[in-house]
Amino acid sequence: MKIKALTAIAAVLLSAPTFVAADENAELIVNGEIEIVTKTAAPAHLAGALDEILSGWRFRADETQSLQTDDFDNPAMIFVDQGMDDWGTVDGSEGKSCASCHGDVEESMAGVRAEYPKWNDTAGEVRTIAQMVNECRTDRMGAEAHGYTSAKMARMEALISVQSRGMPVNVAIDGPAADMWEQGKEMFYSRTGQLELSCASCHEENYGNRIRSDHLSQGQINGFPVYRLKNAKLTTPHGRFKGCVRDTRAETYSPGSDDFVALELYVASRGNGLSVEGVSVRN
């Protein structure tokens, strides 16, 4: 009887993912002025999978959450400052900086983070922000491309992301991007590695439950690039994907590869409606 009762309790726990954030109704407001949507209705394409989408912020402890309420307390802003220095620094054979063409970052990059990854007509493919940055560097500045997940790339992405904070993520999944989106969706639901885990195994079926003494989030990337307390650095979406795939004990894809671009497009679209939160702070 006792065993049966325990099984029943376990079944209840499994069927309803409950998570134990300190204050479930806490809302995120940055600097007392930018309201960040961290919980909203799921986009239409997630019908049957999720009703509600939650930013990773909601899964963190009070102390970590509060680091994001003030830019001075947010350690990621140091990297945004460095990105700002890079923005105005001339590099490469053409004698140009980012600012030479794009001017004031606050104006030219507002809203960009909310829409990427995005179909690029000229290139005839879906492009990430990092790819666009590198195209500018190699083709227009005559400079060397940054490593896809390098510190320099992460802080440039951070600078660009901050210009869209508070705007809703709005990634297009139809039109020419549809094929890549389907590919990303298939990857999200495909089990991989020796542990035979798909992204969905953890981030859809088990969010809120614990793994390795931590809460599983929904795997939203609206907060990227994130400052991780564990290594005091910025992490980019592809860097995070690589870590996750590695943890399933699979061979990972390369950051910047078509596979990861497809996955980024799909995962980003799962957060359509949440605010761009980057740069965020996570464990």
Is 62 among the residues that bind other proteins (CB under 8 A)? Answer: no
- The first and second tokens of residue 146, run together, are 């940054």
From 62, 73, 144, 186, residue interacting with other proteins (rule: CB under 8 A): 73
- How crowded is the C-beta side of 91, counted as CA atoms within 13 Å? 18
Is 132 among the residues that bind other proteins (CB under 8 A)? Answer: no
Is 75 among the residues that bind other proteins (CB under 8 A)? Answer: yes
Query: Beta-carbon neighbour count of residue 13 at 10 Å?
Result: 11
Q: Please, which residue, 71 or 135, has the CB nearer to other proteins?
A: 71
Q: Please, which residue, 46 or 67, has the CB nearer to other proteins?
A: 67
In angstroms, the Cα distances linking 249 to 193, 202, 213 are 5, 14, 19
Q: Please, which residue, 62 or 73, has the CB nearer to other proteins?
A: 73
Residues 28, 69: contact at Cβ < 8 Å?
A: yes
Q: Which helix (H) or strand (E) holds 246?
A: helix 237-247
From 20, 212, 232, 251, residue interacting with other proteins (rule: CB under 8 A): 232
- Provide the total of helices (H) and of strands (E) in the chain, helices listed first: 12, 11
Stretch of 37-45, 57-65, 67-75, 163-171 lying at the interface with other proteins (CB under 8 A)? 67-75
Please name which of 183, 202, 204 lies closest in space to residue 253, comparing C-alpha atoms. Answer: 183
Q: How far is the CB of 207 from other proteins (least distance, A)?
A: 30
Stretch of 41-49, 74-82, 135-143, 269-277 lying at the interface with other proteins (CB under 8 A)? 74-82
E strand intervals along the chain: 28-30, 34-36, 39-41, 52-54, 118-120, 125-127, 210-211, 214-215, 226-228, 233-235, 280-282
Q: Please, which residue, 82 or 280, has the CB nearer to other proteins?
A: 82
Stretch of 2-10, 77-85, 104-112, 185-193 lying at the interface with other proteins (CB under 8 A)? 77-85
Backbone phi, psi, residue 128, to 5°: -95, 170
For residue 100, the one-letter residue type is S
Number of residues binding to other proteins, judged by CB under 8 A: 7
244 is annotated as an active-site residue: yes
Is 63 among the residues that bind other proteins (CB under 8 A)? Answer: no
Stretch of 75-83, 109-117, 136-144, 190-198 lying at the interface with other proteins (CB under 8 A)? 75-83
Query: Beta-carbon neighbour count of residue 50 at 10 Å?
Result: 16
Residues 172, 115: contact at Cβ < 8 Å?
A: yes
From 1, 16, 72, 213, residue interacting with other proteins (rule: CB under 8 A): 72
Is 82 among the residues that bind other proteins (CB under 8 A)? Answer: yes
From 81, 139, 186, 205, residue interacting with other proteins (rule: CB under 8 A): 81
Q: What residues are labeled active site? A: 244
Where does this chain bind other proteins (CB under 8 A)?
A: 72-73, 75, 78, 81-82, 232
